[in-house]
Amino acid sequence: MDYKIYAFICTRNKNLKDTTQKLVTYLSRCKVHIKLIVGSNSIFEGYKKTFELVKPNPSDVIILCHDDIQILSDPELFNDLFLHELVLNKETGFVGVAGTTRLEKSAVWWDLTLWQQQHHSGFVLHGQSPGEGDPSFYGKYRRVVVLDGLFLAARASTIEKVGLEKPPYFEGEWDFYDLHYTLKAHNMKLKNKTLPLTILHNSSGELVGRDSWHKNREAFIKAHTKEFPITCK
């Protein structure tokens, strides 16, 4: 099947830090077409405008990812996973590396209680280098309700249906886009999944303390209040 894979990566400036350079090198080895989104004022706007500029075919794959990650899996595995889980499987919505099968009204997917109840899925290394990474094994790879935004991917046809624009009830420009996108796919009866890709994330989620995160969280809860708890089998 003829298809292309694109990676949309938001970054602060053109002088890429070492981690981002390694990410670009890895994706290039995987024959991924890289689109750097430099200095955008909004992750929603950056993703939307880039999608419109690329004009992908419906069967193409779009990766939405952070610039502070390294992908440690073998490139051959990377390409095989995308072929089988996205290109050939029309029931798949978004794929990623971490998520949950149950989202409570707190709208915090990594909620510790849910983790202890084995609702979470995936694996992420947190740290500055692979040898010193702090491993977070959330749970077995499977279908989930929502996924974390450090690494997301979907067919262009799915992106077109979901839409990348910021919902009008969000105030912040950088928060809860991942839950918004992936929950929309879930509500469209598409199957979101975690994949066995090994990713090192330089961030541990410190930005959850900012006001815009809390405002978007409150808006997300209000918009979906009648749906909680949201689950999948």
Q: Which pLDDT score, from 0 to 100, does residue 233 have?
A: 75
Q: Which pLDDT score, from 0 to 100, does residue 21 have?
A: 96
Q: What is the DSSP letter of 171?
A: -
Q: Which pLDDT score, from 0 to 100, does residue 149 have?
A: 96
Spans of all domains in the chain = 5-231
Q: Which pLDDT score, from 0 to 100, does residue 130 have?
A: 87
Q: 204: pLDDT confidence band, cut at 50, 70 and 90?
A: low
Are 139 and 97 in contact by the 8 Å Cβ rule? The answer is no
Give me the chain's average pLDDT, please.
Answer: 94
pLDDT score of 33 more than 90: yes
- Considering the chain, what percentage of its residues have pLDDT values greater than 70? 97
Domain range 5-231, its CATH number among 3.20.20.140, 1.10.3720.10, 3.40.250.10, 3.90.550.10: 3.90.550.10
For residue 95, list its beta bridge partners.
153, 193
- Considering the chain, what percentage of its residues have pLDDT values greater than 90? 87
Are 61 and 4 in contact by the 8 Å Cβ rule? The answer is yes
Q: What is the pLDDT of residues 102-122, one digit of tens each?
A: 999 999 999 999 999 999 999
Rounded to an integer, the average pLDDT of 118-146 is 94
pLDDT score of 205 more than 70: no
CA–CA distance, 16 with 8 (Å, rounded to integer): 14
| Residues in contact with 160: Cβ distance below 8 Å, sequence separation at least 6, in sequence order | 58
DSSP letter for each residue of 70-123: EE-S-HHHHHHHHIIIIIS-TTEEEEESEEESEE-TT--TT-HHHHHTT-EEEE
Spell out the alpha helix ranges (H) of 12-74: 18-29, 43-54
Q: 131: pLDDT confidence band, cut at 50, 70 and 90?
A: confident
pLDDT score of 208 more than 80: no
pLDDT score of 209 more than 60: no
Q: Which pLDDT score, from 0 to 100, does residue 51 have?
A: 98
Q: What radius of gyration do the chain's Cα atoms show?
A: 16
pLDDT score of 91 more than 90: yes
CA–CA distance, 96 with 154 (Å, rounded to integer): 9
